[in-house]
Amino acid sequence: MTDDRLEDLIDSLKTQRDELRVQMHPAKAEIRDEWEEIEKKWAHAEARFEEIRDQTRETADDVRQAAHVVAEELNEAFLRIRDRL
């Protein structure tokens, strides 16, 4: 995965997260509970994304691939939440 593609994916995740956050207020308790778990994962992933950005030239492809996997997992989780709202 190229750095540009990872950046595009991260930007897309940020947009999805922001859109879902607006819709979460009237959501059912079980959806809010899942959202809280996703928010924890997001906070951790966002910190890792920053580290990866800072170390891009020194980062091995396998680390970028791991970030891609986390980003894809978050994307799937966001889609599950969106489908349930």
Tell me the residue range of the domain where 59 lies: 3-84
Question: Distances from the Cα of 39 to the Cαs of 2, 46, 65, 81, in angstroms?
Answer: 26, 10, 21, 12
Mean pLDDT (whole number) for 3-32 = 87
The number of domains in the chain is: 1
pTM of this structure: 0.63
Residues sharing a CB contact under 8 Å with residue 41, sequence separation 6 or more, in sequence order: 70, 73, 74, 77
Q: How confident is the model at residue 51 (pLDDT cuts 50, 70, 90)?
A: confident
Q: How confident is the model at residue 57 (pLDDT cuts 50, 70, 90)?
A: low
pLDDT score recorded for residue 29: 87
For residue 20, the tally of other CB atoms under 10 A from its CB is: 19
Three-class SS state of 26 = coil
